[in-house]
Amino acid sequence: MSHGARVIRTGVSSGGPAAPPAATVAASSSSAGSDAELMDGAYFRSCAGMLKVAQMISLLIGFISVNNSPWTDYSAYSFFQIVTMCDLVMILFFYVTHIFRIYRKLTCVSWPLAEFLHYLIGTILLLIGSIVAAAKSYNLTGLVAGATFGFLATILCVLSMWSSYKVSCITQSTSKYH
């Protein structure tokens, strides 16, 4: 019983045509080693890369806003801070994974599934933390700002999760028939 290996392309850096046109190969000898480069410059400018940067910025602003405000409820805001920092670290981890193409070297991990599960769990926890932070803010501007940026980060995480799932489904359904 043999199971064939199936490749699922989910990132900008891992996709591309099978063989470039002959004119492109002759014209661009300097970019011929792009797979051998250490960093993936195209991911910086991709929609997924910019979305990750926006998530990290909104999480950092939310964390700093709550951290520099007088707290009214220790448990609510410590939960919010823990969730924002854990989410920020994980998003940074996946960002670095894409930038340095670590997913190509560590093939034993299903990176699309790991990223999707991170966004699923992280978004739910971030939404809960933002709701609790907003409910216990008592109109203190720093706490309201932190909760607002928490909600913004939640929306950005939902967008990332939806685009990740959409890319995976489209790739799987089209590769099935080719």
Q: pLDDT tens across 129-174, in order?
A: 999 999 999 889 999 999 999 999 999 999 998 887 776 566 555 5
* Number of separate helices (H) and strands (E) present in the chain: 7, 0
Q: Which pLDDT band, with edges at 50, 70 and 90, does 72 fall under?
A: confident
Looking at the domain assignment, is residue 28 inside a domain? no
Looking at the domain assignment, is residue 120 inside a domain? yes
* 7 pLDDT higher than 60: no
User: What is the count of structural domains for the chain?
Assistant: 1
Q: pLDDT tens across 84-141, in order?
A: 999 999 999 999 999 999 999 999 999 989 999 999 999 999 999 999 999 999 889 9
Looking at the domain assignment, is residue 10 inside a domain? no
Cα angle value 80/73/121 (rounded, 5°): 20
Q: How far is CA 67 from CA 59, 72, 86, 128, in A?
A: 12, 12, 15, 18
User: 18: helix, coil or strand?
Assistant: coil
| Domain that residue 76 falls in | 50-173
Q: Please list the alpha-helical segments (H only) found in the chain.
A: 22-27, 41-45, 47-67, 74-99, 102-105, 111-135, 141-176
Looking at the domain assignment, is residue 114 inside a domain? yes
Looking at the domain assignment, is residue 20 inside a domain? no
Please report which helix (H) or strand (E) contains residue 39, including its range: none
pLDDT at 138: 87
Looking at the domain assignment, is residue 107 inside a domain? yes
Q: pLDDT tens across 9-63, in order?
A: 555 444 444 444 444 444 444 444 455 578 888 998 999 999 999 999 999 999 9
Sign of the four-CA dihedral 75, 81, 84, 89: negative
Looking at the domain assignment, is residue 3 inside a domain? no
pLDDT at 37: 76
**Eight-class DSSP state of 175:** H
Looking at the domain assignment, is residue 32 inside a domain? no
